[in-house]
Chains A and B, each alone.
Chain A
Amino acid sequence: MSAEPPAKTNPARSAPGAAAKQARRRRSSGIGVPIARSRFLMIAVAVFVGLGLGWWAATGLEWVKPIFLPSPGSVATQIAKLATDGTLWLDLTASAYRISIGFLIASALSIPIGVLIGSFRSWEAAIEPLVDFIRYMPVVAFVPLSILWAGTGDTQKFLIIFIGTFFQQVLMIMDNVKRVPADFIGLGRTLGLPDRKILTRIVVPSALPGIWDTLRISLGWAWTWLVLAELVAATSGLGYRITVSQRYFQTNTIIGYILLLGVLGLITDQVMKALEKVLFRQDGHSQ
């Protein structure tokens, strides 16, 4: 591809050191030593299978009571039952709606503010210390207040998701923006571009892959804050179902929903990663 191809190491040249070569070949572990993708997958799958088997054995052999840990089969049938009677779907859509709106509001505000304070020192002075202070306030402690302010409806869920993600996002996006190479801005200035255009044509596009990554990471946290809000005060949603199930000792529902939340988090993360590859395919391997 490239005009100056990298020098290939000639295997014949290293033939004399056969013993050394053998020793080198055997080195399949150690800090930073790469492994084959198939091997990586095998190990990862083995861990899941192993844990699943352990769970299955522990319940099948009745080492633990089903009320504490139901069998995989019981969890699966319970989830299937909730799926067929429509409960699961209602819970899922209620939660998906809340996380989408809450996360969109947080992101829509954090991106412009993050770009602003990452670019202009005065704005950073005005906003960064305040945000830094607020983000250390535990989100959990805002739950009672949020109910006082917004009741127990969807607005309160948006509020908790917002408090949990917005302040973190702002600081991370500020960092994304600060990491734009100074020479990129220098380039814009030598081309005589005004600040506004340097911001929109150079700084933002350059920081965008990083900002996307920030969104992906904070979306993962948003799931946690969503469930927290639903656990405390709600009449629908995945978190609500978990609380209700505790009242009736339906441990199989609780575990099924927790696993489901894990899968949902994983799916959104993978979707964001896949989009990242499509949106920024030319940026990735530039450094």
Chain B
Amino acid sequence: MTVPKLRIAGLDKSFGTGERRTEVLRDINLDLADNEFVSLVGTSGCGKSTLLSIVAGLQDFDAGDLSIDGAPILQPGLDRGVVFQSYTLLPWLTARQNIEFALKAAGYDHTACREIALEHLDLVKLSQSADRYPSELSGGMKQRVAIARALSYRPKMLLMDEPFGALDALTRHQMQELLTQIWEEHRLTVLFVTHDVEEAVYLSDRIVVMGIGPGRIMQTFDVDIERPRREEVMETPAFMDLQRGVHKAIREASRRPEMA
């Protein structure tokens, strides 16, 4: 019996109080194994982003248990790297300085900061843009810096909230390929929120389908597609079958349960 990397057990969450109280998440149970890549999918309003935000420690929850390596999660921390949909690069810092900002917060000394920052810019293929400001970078490049930043201080796991949602289709594909490559080489536990089923199948080891009213886990799919995965894999029958299956599950899950 090994302790899971991330354990979510019996988690409930609601917004508001009294009459206006709405239940957002009910009885969420989910374990992530070490180095497992898990995607949360579902229609908007199923609470997938809220769940991610709770794991990040940015939101409270009402009941349940939440732990990393067996230690309960009480607040945000450097053990979880977060990549937001809105890039969140600080505009007054260059790409390199944005990564150094995180490393400095993590307690690295000056020379180490610089070295690690450049190394991670290289990882996301942005060495040439180290001294550019975010306003001089495209959306895809900004998100690559944000990913490099989240990886740089070696968190125990990575939380990604629709990181490619704001990108155009072509850039999104490039980013998915890059992320798969990095992940296959370096391995890390990842919790990934998306509404793009193709993206979920391409990236994940396991896909968790969430339903609405209140948000809960409806179904889980294991993705038994061999790695390393390259873009061509999306054309294979196995890939497309799974994609269809997940789509169907989302459709069923988003049908509102009997009106109370």
A205 adjacent to B92 (CB under 8 Å): yes
Which residues 168-187 in A have Cβ within 8 Å of B in the complex? 181, 183-184, 186-187
* Contact call A187/B77, Cβ cutoff below 8 A: no
- B interface residue count range (under 10 / 10 to 19 / 20 to 34 / 35 or more): 20 to 34
**Quick check: B82 and A202 within 8 Å, CB to CB?**
no
Q: With A and B bound together, what is the CA distance between A1 and B106 in angstroms?
A: 33
CB nearest to A4 among chain B residues: B138
Contacts from B to A (Cβ < 8 Å): 56-58, 75-78, 80-82, 84, 86, 88, 90-92, 101-102, 105-106, 133-138, 140-141, 153, 170-171
Q: Which residues of A contact B153 (CB under 8 A)?
A: 191
| Count of chain A residues with a beta carbon within 8 Å of a chain B beta carbon | 26
Chain A 263-287, CB-CB to B under 8 Å as 1, else 0, gives: 0000000000000000010111110
B90–A202 contact, CB under 8 A?
yes
| Bound Cα distance from A201 to B170, whole angstroms | 35
| Inter-chain contacts of B106 with A (CB < 8 A) | 191-192
CB-based contact A286/B135 at 8 Å? yes
Q: Which residues of A contact B (CB under 8 A)?
A: 1-4, 181, 183-184, 186-187, 189-193, 197, 201-202, 205-206, 208, 280, 282-286
Q: Known contacts A186-B82, A282-B133, A285-B135: does B102 contact A191 (CB below 8 Å)?
A: yes
Whether A181 lies near B91 (C-beta < 8 A) is no
From DSSP, what is the main secondary structure of chain A's interface residues? helix
A251 to chain B, nearest CB (A): 50
Residue numbers in A under 8 Å from B138 (CB-CB): 2-4
Residue of B77, B92, B138 with most chain A CB atoms under a 10 A cut-off:
B92
Q: A191-B105, A283-B135, A285-B135 are in contact. Are A3 and B91 (CB under 8 A)?
A: no
Asked whether, in the complex, the Cβ of A189 is within 8 Å of the Cβ of B90, the reply is: no
Number of A-B pairs whose CB atoms are under 8 Å?
78
How far is the CB of B170 from the nearest CB of chain A, in Å? 8
Once the chains bind, are A286 and B91 in contact (CB under 8 Å)? yes
Residue contact B135 to A2, C-beta cutoff 8 Å: no
A186, B171: Cβ atoms closer than 8 Å: no
Partner pick for A193 among B86, B88, B105, CB 8 A cutoff: B105
Asked if A283 and B91 sit within 8 Å, CB to CB, the answer is yes
**B171 and A4 within 8 A (CB):** yes
Pairwise interchain contact B92-A190, C-beta atoms closer than 8 A? no
Given contacts A283-B92, A286-B91, contact A190 B77 (CB under 8 A): yes
**Which listed residue, B88, B91, B133, touches A187 by the CB 8 Å rule?**
B88
Nearest chain A residue, comparing its CB with the CB of B81: A190
- Residues in B with CB closer than 8 Å to A184 are 88, 90
Residues of chain A within 8 A of B141, CB atoms compared: 2-3
The answer to whether A205 touches B135 (Cβ under 8 A) is no
Given the contacts A193-B105, A282-B91, A283-B91, A187 and B135 also touching, CB distance less than 8 Å:
no
Which of B86, B88, B134, B171 has the most chain A CB atoms inside 10 A of its CB?
Answer: B88
Assess the A191–B135 pair: CB atoms within 8 A.
no
Asked if residues B92 and A282 are in contact (CB atoms below 8 Å), the reply is yes
Q: List B contacts of A280 (CB < 8 A).
A: 92
| A-B CB proximity, top 7 nearest | A282-B133, A191-B105, A286-B135, A189-B76, A286-B91, A190-B82, A190-B76
Partner of A189, one of B58, B92, B102, B136: B58
CA distance A186 to B91 in the complex (A): 16
For B170, the chain A residues whose CB sits under 8 A away are 4
Q: How far is A285 from B140 in the complex, measured between Cα atoms in Å?
A: 17
Q: Which residues of A contact B135 (CB under 8 A)?
A: 282-286
Q: In the complex, which residues of chain A have a beta carbon less than 8 angstroms from the beta carbon of B88? A: 181, 183-184, 186-187
In chain B, what residue has the closest Cβ to A201? B101
A183–B92 contact, CB under 8 A?
no
Instruction: List 22 interface pairs A-B (beta carbons < 8 Å), by A numbering.
Output: A2-B137, A181-B86, A181-B88, A183-B84, A183-B86, A186-B82, A186-B88, A187-B82, A187-B84, A189-B58, A189-B75, A190-B80, A191-B105, A191-B106, A192-B105, A197-B105, A201-B101, A202-B90, A208-B92, A282-B136, A283-B91, A286-B135
Measured CB to CB, the nearest residue on chain B to A185 is B58
What's the nearest-Cβ distance from chain A to residue B253, in Å?
28
A91 to chain B, nearest CB (A): 40
